Structure 1
Amino acid sequence: MRIRLHLSTQATHIPWDQLLRPGRGLIYRLLRETAPELGARLHESTRPMPAGHGAPVFPKARRVPRRYAAGGPGHLELGSPIPGLAESWHQALTRTDTLDWGGTALRLHDAELLPPPDFTAGTAEFQTETPVALRRLPSPDRPPTPEGEPVRLPPLPDLLPYEEGFAEALTANLRRKLDTLGLDPDITIDEITPTGPKRAFTVGDGRQTGATANVRLHGAPTALRALWSWGLGRGNAAGFGWIRR
């Protein structure tokens, strides 16, 4: 399930380093308000956070080179595949007048619940609105981490949609998500088409790299509905891999 927030702002742009960054804080705030015990478990878990969001979009804003244009009416989407969670967030957001989006005031006018498509045919075509973030799968030669011993291995390199190994890494990512939810993880990617350049955004204390893509895949309808509500790749709670409606 998703929520689309109908909003407006008097700002003329949003700083690039604050375009996605505030969304993670919004998700954790909503978890604290509506499901504190679940939020604590998810925060402590090593599994992916089952929630995602996109970037604020202002279709009528005046475009300015090298700036993310804002102004006038717009929208922002967020969601979660966990049953009932988005509905709880929706109730909390209907009592909210303004969002502080990294220093930009977004006036909230309405919050709309968006149920996922049925996907009864077991196929989907997902076009991402924000970059898909992935890391290359570990090499068979990469040493395993000994149990009970704190070992720091070098981070795996980022992987872009036009690079070799992206389909395998994305398949592993999606199957892990579905396994986390207790859903059928038998998902198959049929085609990946890169749709945008390499981009890097501020996340926490660092930066995450990715690129947008169009992904055709097939699997169980329940699995496709869950992914539509969550996103593709890593860092969905930080705004990456959000699927265009």
Structure 2
Amino acid sequence: MTARLLEGKIILIVGASTGIGADAARVFARDGASLVLAARSEAGLRTVADELTAAGTPVAWVTGDVSVGADVRRFVDTALERFGRLDGAFNNAGLTGAGMLHDVSEEDFDRIMAVNVKGVWLCIREEVRAMSGGGGGSIVNVSSIGGTRGSSGMGAYQATKHAVIGLTRTAAHDNGPAGIRVNAIAPGPIETPMLQKTREAIPGGVEARIAATPLRKAGTTTEVGDAAGWLLSDRASHISGVVLPVDGGFSS
């Protein structure tokens, strides 16, 4: 019998209480990982953790704000205290936001940058700290197809997702000698509560993008989790610094 893709791995998921993060947790559990779940919402985390624990997956969970360094350190320390090491991390926490760049408030700009950019940097920093002493590991950051191109109406969000790609590629260079792989996934439209907010903010925008997608559909959170799980696994052992589109062919 072939071993499951993440058998024996200790994986941290940041932004695990809903949407892509929650379903990635289900995918990683299916594939044999033990999990540390982190997010701001205690209620959401409890729901996911209780479900997976009942199904036999070893799970720890911790609440906190990804833009606060002490909180992110607790995320990683929870993995080390509960499981003794950290093999992989899926940095998924993020905010969306719509509006022309010249209409975005300074407060909104600062908040989306704090979560989507500073938060990813803090996660990488703490995860590298844990992995460097344990023989390496794999980090997957969530960017977006919006981080690979320009379009009107979501400029601040797109700027953060461009930044995530820059952080990913730099971290791959910085940490490759320690055996740490760093990659990103770039989802197109994925059916989540966040996508519904975009539909409401930009009427017709999501449907136009789906219509321009070769597969003619939005993706699912499970499909994103499958892609991330493969990058976290040993089957992607010589892949680092890559931005993998999960977009139904939209970027092709």
TM-score class, shorter:
under 0.3
More helix by share: 2
TM-score, normalised by the number of residues in structure 2: 0.27
Q: Greater relative contact order (Cα 8 A, min sep 6): structure 1 or 2?
A: 1
Q: Which one has a bigger Cα radius of gyration?
A: 1
